[in-house]
Amino acid sequence: MTTMLGVELNGRRVLLAGGGPVSARRLRRLIDDGAAPVVVAPELCAEAAQLVADHGVTWHRRGVEEADVDGSWLVHTATGDPAIDARVAAWCESRATLCVNASDGAHGTARMTASSRAGDVMVGVVSDAGVDPRRTARVHAAIREMLESGAAPLRRVRAGAPGRVALVGGGPGPVDLMTLRARRLIAEADVVVADRLGATAVLDELDPDVEVIHVGKAPGHHIRTQDEINGIIVEHALAGRRVVRLKGGDPFVYGRGGEEVTACLRAGVHVEVVPGVTSAVSVPASAGIPVTHRGTASSVHLVCGPTGMTGATLAALKDRTVTTVMLMGVAAFAGFAADALAAGAPDDLPVAFVERGFSDEQRTVHSTLRAAAGDALRAEVRNPAVIVLGDVARAELLMPAVHEASAAA
Residue 160 pLDDT grade (very low, low, confident, very high; cuts 50, 70, 90)? low
Residue 209 pLDDT grade (very low, low, confident, very high; cuts 50, 70, 90)? confident
- Residue 358 half-sphere exposure, CB side, CA atoms within 13 Å? 22
Is the Cβ–Cβ distance between 198 and 247 less than 8 Å? yes
* C-alpha gyration radius of the chain: 29
The answer on pLDDT for 372 being more than 90 is: yes
pLDDT of residue 133: 61
Higher pLDDT pick, 111 / 302: 302
pLDDT of residue 116: 62
pLDDT of residue 109: 74
Q: In percent, how much of the chain has pLDDT > 90?
A: 67
Q: For 164-277, which CATH superfamily applies?
A: Tetrapyrrole methylase, N-terminal domain (3.40.1010.10)
The answer on pLDDT for 409 being more than 70 is: no
Among candidate residues 190, 116, 122, 121, the one with its CA nearest the CA of residue 160:
190
| Residue 195 falls in the annotated catalytic set | yes
| Residue 132 falls in the annotated catalytic set | no
The answer on pLDDT for 129 being more than 90 is: no
- Asked, as a colleague might, if the bond just before 275 is cis with ω within 30 of 0, I would say no
The answer on pLDDT for 138 being more than 80 is: no
* Residue 59: Cβ within 10 Å count: 19
Rounded to the nearest angstrom, the gap between the alpha carbon of residue 10 and the centroid of all alpha carbons in its chain is: 26
Average predicted confidence (pLDDT) for the chain: 87
Among candidate residues 350, 352, 370, the one with its CA nearest the CA of residue 362:
352
Mean pLDDT score, 53-70: 96
The answer on pLDDT for 187 being more than 50 is: yes
Least confident residue range of 32-36, 166-170, 220-224, 368-372:
220-224
Strand-pair partners of 15? 38, 75
Show the CA angle centred on residue 49, arms to residues 46 and 50, nearest 5°. 85
Q: For 281-393, which CATH superfamily applies?
A: Tetrapyrrole methylase, C-terminal domain (3.30.950.10)
pLDDT of residue 162: 86
pLDDT of residue 407: 39
In the three-class reduction of DSSP (H, G, I as helix; E, B as strand; rest coil), residue 20 is classed as coil
Residue 117 pLDDT grade (very low, low, confident, very high; cuts 50, 70, 90)? low
Is the Cβ–Cβ distance between 32 and 55 less than 8 Å? no
Q: Which residues contact 141 (CB under 8 A, 6 or more apart)?
A: none
Catalytic: which of 68, 85, 190, 195?
195
Is the Cβ–Cβ distance between 65 and 5 less than 8 Å? no
Alpha carbons 128 and 146: distance in angstroms, whole number? 22
Mean pLDDT score, 252-269: 96
Residue 335 pLDDT grade (very low, low, confident, very high; cuts 50, 70, 90)? very high
Alpha carbons 216 and 71: distance in angstroms, whole number? 58
Mean pLDDT score, 200-225: 78
Q: Where are the domains of the chain?
A: 13-112, 113-124+132-149, 164-277, 281-393
Mean pLDDT score, 191-203: 86
Catalytic: which of 33, 81, 217, 391?
217
Alpha carbons 34 and 55: distance in angstroms, whole number? 11
The answer on pLDDT for 106 being more than 60 is: no
Q: Nearest 10 degrees: CA dihedral of 389, 390, 391, 392? A: -70
Mean pLDDT score, 312-340: 96
Instruction: Classify residue 160 by burial, with Cβ atoms within 10 Å: 0-12, 13-18, 19+.
Output: exposed
pLDDT digit string, tens, across residues 169-178: 999 989 989 9
Residue 405 pLDDT grade (very low, low, confident, very high; cuts 50, 70, 90)? very low
Q: Which residues contact 310 (CB under 8 A, 6 or more apart)?
A: 303
What is the full DSSP assignment across 351-395?
EEEEESTTSTT-EEEEEETTTHHHHHHHTT--SSEEEEESGGG-T
Residue 99 pLDDT grade (very low, low, confident, very high; cuts 50, 70, 90)? very high
Helix axes of 46-55 and 21-32: crossing angle, nearest 10 degrees: 30
Is the Cβ–Cβ distance between 177 and 236 less than 8 Å? no
Helix axes of 180-188 and 133-148: crossing angle, nearest 10 degrees: 70
Strands 164-169 and 242-247 come out as parallel
What is the full DSSP assignment across 110-124?
----EEEEETTEEEE
Higher pLDDT pick, 127 / 130: 127
Overall fold of domain 13-112: Rossmann fold (3.40.50)
